[in-house]
Amino acid sequence: MAIQVFAIAMALFAISRAYLRLREKKLKPFEFIFWTLLWLVVVFIAFAPDVTFFFSKLVGIERGIDIIIYTSIIALFYLMFRLYVKLETVEQNLTKIVRELALREKKR
């Protein structure tokens, strides 16, 4: 039972966070729906872990829980990649600003 309580608590926390971000307009409605659905799926799986078995069978993985772990890792890697790209863009933009300021200061 502990895992179900934990899942609900986590989901409520995450969804409330997402909702706050939505109100601040830092999250688009579509993104809010995505995260809410994702966490609802997590709660659902916590109560009915057997459904994962259906999917794992589909792709030929023995245990239901494994497919969750595999997809999570892939998703995490993808998110990290996105973050990295984003970070690089931000860094490049920062450099451009700093350079422009340095050059302008000299022109005056």
Partner 1 sequence: MNKLMIVVPAYNEAVKIGAVIESLKKEGFQNIIVVDDGSTDKTAETARSKGVVVLSHFVNCGYGAAITTGIKHAVVQGADAIATFDADGQHVSSDLHKLFEIVAKGEADIALGSRFLKQSKSNVPLLRKMALKAGRMIVWAFYGVKLSDAHSGLRAMSREAAEKIDVKSAHMDFSSEIVDQIKKQKLRWKELPVTVRYTQYSIKNSKQGPLPALKIFSQMIWRKLVR
Site mask for partner 1 (CB under 8 A), range 64-93, x = bound: --------------------xx--x--xx-
- Terminal C-alpha separation, the chain: 70
106: contact with partner 1 by CB under 8 A: yes
Residue 24 is given by DSSP the state T
16: contact with partner 1 by CB under 8 A: no
Question: Tokens for 44?
Answer: 């659902």
In terms of Cα–Cα distance, which of 51, 45, 49, 21 is closest to 33? 21
Kindly list the residues in this chain that would bind partner 1 in the complex (CB under 8 A): 84-85, 88, 91-92, 94-95, 98-99, 101-103, 105-106
